């Protein structure tokens, strides 16, 4: 068994951290490593599990006391294990325990229930095989919209109850003889891990448990019709490409009393003319002239929050990076944190000079050459970082 990391180290908090900072540290890690956001990424799953396990212990004063005293041995096999009902012994718990623990702690949190709504269903949300399909739509957002948060109207097609037959699919319904009305059939398959029993929807009745004799002419018997639908979705500030917002019950309607599916709204970013996004930071490049670099200047930049003054110090070098603190994007659901704007400076070399400029540059050159220090007169120095 791999050496277990210290719980405080896992969450990145001190031994004397209070419950609030432990919760915040865990929350951050859970957002980052949640399996819904890192599909198929095994190492993210491990980190999520590890963080959840650490949090489950450290948030509980009794467990924390035991852990402080005995370390991981406090929860080893034969010591009563997790007490809280986790299945794992000395190995901690598995990913489904972690997801369950996470939803128990944060499921009521509006951010998490919106962003990780998918996890809730894992807990067994019923609906049976009549449940309508989940649908996906993509919304394209500008950085300006991401900066402030926005509301978007989405037009999409979904299956809704047929008004012609009232969603019944027709008349003369009788119990399906294939599944006996349960809508489900058991299938036994052989797999690498031995025999597996799958319960799937009955194909004879499409999982409804009923067969219709006189099918509705409008919907052909499913009781559902494709219709155009419009919905308004609120998008919180700070979202990133690939985030998604599940809108419960806004997907396809379920057949014959089945639960409706969800509409999954996927966020896509429209590239910005100047700014490139790096997490919550915004990076841009700014070309300034040689006199501006030498003498310093004040420049007004068009940012997402409007015009902001940027001070160029005298003697600013080309390729230097100026940081405008907290002028970047807010973090999702955490308005206390904002990223920065990073401005990479390029000092432009003039290529076409007016005769007046040429005279001035000549004069500058003469002055530089008479300077004893040799600064600006073309001296050699060792390359700091030739290959980068």
Nearer to Zn ion, 236 or 254 (CB): 254
- Binding to Zn ion by residue 25, rule CB under 5 A? no
- Binding to Zn ion by residue 162, rule CB under 5 A? yes
- Binding to Zn ion by residue 204, rule CB under 5 A? yes
Which of 216, 245, 329, 332 is close enough to bind Zn ion by CB under 5 A? 216
**What CA–CA distance (Å, rounded) separates 89 from 87?**
7
Number of Cβ atoms within 10 Å of the Cβ of 161:
22
* Least distance to Zn ion, CB of residue 54, Å: 47
Say how many Å lie between the first and final Cα of the chain, rounded.
Answer: 41
- Binding to Zn ion by residue 253, rule CB under 5 A? no
Nearer to Zn ion, 84 or 166 (CB): 166
- Binding to Zn ion by residue 304, rule CB under 5 A? no
Which of 218, 269, 281, 297 is close enough to bind Zn ion by CB under 5 A? 218
Nearer to Zn ion, 117 or 183 (CB): 183
How many residues touch Zn ion under the rule CB under 5 A: the total is 12
Which of 30, 103, 202, 304 is close enough to bind Zn ion by CB under 5 A? 202
- Binding to Zn ion by residue 179, rule CB under 5 A? yes
H/E element, 7? helix 7-11
* Least distance to Zn ion, CB of residue 125, Å: 22
Nearest residue to 233 via CA among 347, 156, 312: 156
Nearer to Zn ion, 184 or 320 (CB): 184
* Least distance to Zn ion, CB of residue 204, Å: 4
Nearer to Zn ion, 57 or 179 (CB): 179
Report CA-CA distances (Å) from 60 to 55, 67, 97, 100, 231. Answer: 8, 10, 17, 17, 42
Q: Are 83 and 92 in contact (CB under 8 A)?
A: no
Angle at 137 between CA 136 and CA 142, to 5 degrees: 145
Longest CA span, the chain = 105
Which of 4, 28, 121, 164 is close enough to bind Zn ion by CB under 5 A? 164
Q: Binding segment for Zn ion among 208-216, 230-238, 253-261, 375-383 (CB under 5 A)?
A: 208-216
Which of 11, 139, 146, 176 is close enough to bind Zn ion by CB under 5 A? 176
**Does residue 293 sit in helix, strand or coil?**
helix
Number of Cβ atoms within 10 Å of the Cβ of 14:
10
Which of 54, 58, 135, 205 is close enough to bind Zn ion by CB under 5 A? 205
Report CA-CA distances (Å) from 16 to 4, 5, 68, 79, 344. Answer: 20, 18, 11, 25, 40
- Binding to Zn ion by residue 224, rule CB under 5 A? no
Which of 178, 227, 259, 334 is close enough to bind Zn ion by CB under 5 A? 178
Nearer to Zn ion, 165 or 341 (CB): 165
Q: Which residues pair with 201 in a beta bridge?
A: 184
- How many Cα atoms sit within 13 Å of 333 on the Cβ side? 13
DSSP string, 53-91: HHHHHHTSHHHHHHHHHHGGGGGSTTTTTTSS--S-STT
Q: Which residues bind Zn ion (CB under 5 A)?
A: 162, 164-165, 176, 178-179, 202, 204-205, 216, 218-219
């Amino acid at each position: 068994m791999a050496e277990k990391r210290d719980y405080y180290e896992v969450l990145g908090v001190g031994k004397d951290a209070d419950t609030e900072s432990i919760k915040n540290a865990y929350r951050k890690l859970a957002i980052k490593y949640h399996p819904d956001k890192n599909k198929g990424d095994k190492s993210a799953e491990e980190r999520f599990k590890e963080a959840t396990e650490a949090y489950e212990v450290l948030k509980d004063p009794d467990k924390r006391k035991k852990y402080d005293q005995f370390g991981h041995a406090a929860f080893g096999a034969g010591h009563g294990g997790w007490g809280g009902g986790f299945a794992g012994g000395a190995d901690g718990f598995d990913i489904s325990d972690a997801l369950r623990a996470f939803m128990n702690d944060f499921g009521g949190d509006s951010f998490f229930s919106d962003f990780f709504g998918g996890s809730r269903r894992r807990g067994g949300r019923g609906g049976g095989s009549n449940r309508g399909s989940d649908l996906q739509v993509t919304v394209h957002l500008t950085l300006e919209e991401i900066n402030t948060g926005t509301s978007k109207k989405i037009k999409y097609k979904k299956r809704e109850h047929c008004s012609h037959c009232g969603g019944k699919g027709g008349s003369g319904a009788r119990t399906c003889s294939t599944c006996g009305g349960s809508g489900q059939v058991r299938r036994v398959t052989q797999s690498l891990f031995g025999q597996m029993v799958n319960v799937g929807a009955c194909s004879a009745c499409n999982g409804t448990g009923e067969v219709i004799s006189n099918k509705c002419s409008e919907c052909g018997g499913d009781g559902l019709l494709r219709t155009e639908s419009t919905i308004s979705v609120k998008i919180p500030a700070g979202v990133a490409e690939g985030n998604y917002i599940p809108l419960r019950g806004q997907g396809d309607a379920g057949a014959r009393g089945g639960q409706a599916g969800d509409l999954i709204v996927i966020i896509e970013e429209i590239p910005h003319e100047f700014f490139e996004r790096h997490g919550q930071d915004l990076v841009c490049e700014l070309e300034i002239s040689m006199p501006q670099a030498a003498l310093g200047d004040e420049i007004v930049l068009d940012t997402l929050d409007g015009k902001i003054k940027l001070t160029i110090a005298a003697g600013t070098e080309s390729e230097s990076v100026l940081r405008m603190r907290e002028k970047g994007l807010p973090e999702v659901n955490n308005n206390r944190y904002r990223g920065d704007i990073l401005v990479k400076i390029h000092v432009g070399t003039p290529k076409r000079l007016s005769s007046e400029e040429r005279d001035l540059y000549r004069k500058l050159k003469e002055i530089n050459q008479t300077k004893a220090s040799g600064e600006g007169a073309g001296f050699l120095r060792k390359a700091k970082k030739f290959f980068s």
